[in-house]
Amino acid sequence: MSEPIRKPSDISKAPTPQNTPSSVANLYLKQQPPTVSTISEEDEKNLSKQLANNPALLSMIQGKLGDLVGQQSGYVESLPKSVKKRVSGLKAVQQQQMKLEAEFQKELLELEKAYLKKYEPLYEKRKAIVNGDQEPTAAEIEEGEALKTESDEEDEEEEEEEDEDEDDDVKGIPGFWLTAMENLTFVRETITERDSEVLAYLKDVRMEYLTTLGFELIFEFNENPHFSNQVLTKTYYYHPELGYSGDFVYDHADGCEINWKSKEANVTINIERRKQRNKNTKQTRTIEKLTPTESFFNFFDPPKPPQAPTEVNDDEDEEEDEEEAELRDRLEFDYQLGEEIKNKLIPRAIDWFSGDAVEYEGADDYDDEEEEFDEDEEDDDDDDSDINESGPKENPPDCKQQ
């Protein structure tokens, strides 16, 4: 499949190249650009000390800098009229390119849909093998064996020695989807112990594209004591307009209702019971208090994007800002979770189950850390003495085999 669809963003706040350094503007405005005396390291330290000793001044400077964020420098407005016309012309040229980009993204989406149809028979075979309805062919087993690494073979030899006396009547691959999801870091963060009991009944995870812009995630379950649904769905819709970067962005998501068989079976709530005694009749009764709790199954009840802003009092501004920030974080987390399932879990489920994908992602993270370290080392060589070079990197989390 193609690159993941990126999370939604406020296009109106997209970065622009208009904050051009004033030193460049001076080439147009003056024959000789102004010179600035060099600030020595000692002067910089003295200035930092003065600011540290004067919190009020530091706060005022930070406030002024905060007001400047997102403001245009005025550079374009200061250009000669003929240059400004050329700038306008370039905007029109770029707009033509963006129209082509929109066509490209739509054609790419159609290509993804076409290849998903080709993948579906393979996903059906995976489902059948996982649930014990079909066995892989001898050729498939041989090809899979050839793909194993030395560490895989060593682990298998140890497991064979330990499991010599175990019965070989196990059907399919127990706990396949639960194990795969728990190895996917971003998804694992949402799974509680109670969730694991429910997800053990997971039969298949797949996706379908919508006839409109968007896709649906489908979670199929075996019969279980928790809810009566055979299928749970989560649908993500794309915004009809492309984002600033030229990609589709999410518009909103819809979940589904879960028909829990009882309050005790509902893993999205906590039940607090206490006895209350009537002072007059001396009779007692049990009071139940139901409170929402963290759960993977909250995924099927997604947060709703904020409505159009309404007028509020100044006293309510701060509270509204905090609520909006929290809602934005929840929406971003929800969209990212959908991306992880769509673009990582479903296509590479066996790699997440076996732990191979964990090792690959761990290696990528390690490379990123090394690059960051090299940059820091170039910026400040004095910090090298504080680094324990012999300290080992953390190993990627172990595969949680069931």
Domains in the chain (CATH in brackets) are: 81-155+171-307+317-373 (3.30.1120.90)
Q: What is the pLDDT of residue 47?
A: 67
Q: What is the pLDDT of residue 246?
A: 73
List of residues 6+ apart from 150 with CB closer than 8 A = none
Q: What is the pLDDT of residue 276?
A: 75
Residue 204 vs residue 248, higher pLDDT: 204
Tokens representing 308?
């159009």
Tokens representing 147?
């793909």
Q: What is the pLDDT of residue 153?
A: 59
Q: What is the pLDDT of residue 76?
A: 85
CB 297 within 8 Å of CB 258: yes
Percentage above 90 pLDDT, the chain: 42
The model's pTM: 0.68
Position 50 pLDDT exceeds 90: no
Confidence of residue 25 (pLDDT cuts 50, 70, 90): very low
Q: What are the pLDDT digits (tens) for 326-364?
A: 888 899 999 999 999 999 999 999 999 999 988 777 555
* Average pLDDT value for residue range 166-180: 87
Lowest-pLDDT range of 123-132, 252-261, 320-329: 320-329
CB 262 within 8 Å of CB 228: no
Q: What is the pLDDT of residue 155?
A: 60
Cα 332 from Cα 324, distance rounded (Å): 12
Q: What is the pLDDT of residue 69?
A: 55
Q: What is the pLDDT of residue 241?
A: 82
Percentage above 70 pLDDT, the chain: 63
Position 123 pLDDT exceeds 90: yes
Residue 350 vs residue 43, higher pLDDT: 350
Q: What is the pLDDT of residue 317?
A: 65
Cα 165 from Cα 157, distance rounded (Å): 14
Give the highest mean pLDDT range of 107-111, 229-233, 319-323, 389-393.
229-233
Residue 240 vs residue 343, higher pLDDT: 343
Paired with 216 in beta bridges are 208, 235
Q: What is the pLDDT of residue 163?
A: 55
CA distances, 16 to each of 11, 78, 205 (Å): 11, 17, 40
Confidence of residue 66 (pLDDT cuts 50, 70, 90): low
Confidence of residue 70 (pLDDT cuts 50, 70, 90): low
Q: What is the pLDDT of residue 253?
A: 94
Position 262 pLDDT exceeds 80: yes
Q: What is the pLDDT of residue 39?
A: 53
Q: What is the pLDDT of residue 227?
A: 97
Q: What is the pLDDT of residue 52?
A: 64
What is the residue-averaged pLDDT of the chain? 77
Tokens representing 199?
């997800």
Phi and psi of 300, rounded to 5°? -90, 5
Report the candidate in 36, 37, 61 with the shortest Cα–Cα distance to residue 50. 61
Q: Give the burial string for 35-61 (b: 16+ CB within 10 Å, else e).
A: eeeeeeeeeeeeeeeeeeeeeeeeeee
| 399 phi-psi bin (left φ>0, alpha ψ -120 to 50, beta other) | beta
Phi and psi of 74, rounded to 5°? 85, 5
